[in-house]
Amino acid sequence: MHDIDPTLLSHQLSILPSAKSVAQRKQKLGEKCQAIVHKEVIALRESEFIKEATYTTWPANVGVMKKYSGKWRMCVNYTDLNKACPKEKYPFPYFDRFVDNTIGYKLLSFLNAYSGYNQIRMYPPNKEKIASMTEVTKFCYKVTYQRLMDQVFVKLIRNIMEVYIDNMVIKYTIAADHSKHLQIVFEASSIPPT
């Protein structure tokens, strides 16, 4: 995994000093949801995005949500942890705006940044606070994204590309611009072109 040097940047939670840790009661998932979660946990372990959690102060339940594509995504219920952090207004992108901003372009290139998306290391004392539990294991994320895509591509978004979470669309009005725009995006993300 190629990640950002933690001495330069790490994701540190701002937990209110008055907050008391909350351990959620473990919830049962149906068989279908269990299978989805199990598969996702294995993939996250193999990608080295998560590790086994040992001492957890804020264990949170996992669940699954259906994505626009019809596929399922594992989610973690950080409701209690979120209540313990100061509120910050972040303009979460609308999927329909992501689609609308590509109308009228002759050619689109789609990229999924799953591996490149999780590159910011969690601040070590906060890892156990973001622990998740399934029916058979507890784990915590070692890395996060925390708005990295917005920051990396700030000059390119709505110009030659659109970003929605870990999905990117590179837009072209002229086919000849295809390789040029890809090169610009790869350079911005430090991905060597192949």
Q: What is the pLDDT of residues 120-168, one digit of tens each?
A: 888 888 888 899 999 888 999 888 766 677 778 889 998 999 888 778 8
Residue 168 in contact with residue 111, Cβ under 8 Å? Answer: yes
**Per-residue pLDDT averaged across 35-57, rounded?**
91
Residue 129 in contact with residue 158, Cβ under 8 Å? Answer: no
Q: Is 183 exposed, middle or buried (0-12, 13-18, 19+ CB in 10 A)?
A: exposed
User: Band of the pLDDT at 89, cuts 50, 70, 90?
Assistant: confident
Kindly report the length of the chain.
Answer: 194
Task: Supply the pLDDT for residue 35.
Answer: 95
Task: Supply the pLDDT for residue 146.
Answer: 62
Task: List the structure tokens of 11.
Answer: 């994701």
pTM to 2 decimals?
0.69
Task: Supply the pLDDT for residue 1.
Answer: 43
User: What are the Cα distances from residue 121, in Å, to 5, 56, 61, 159?
Assistant: 8, 18, 22, 29
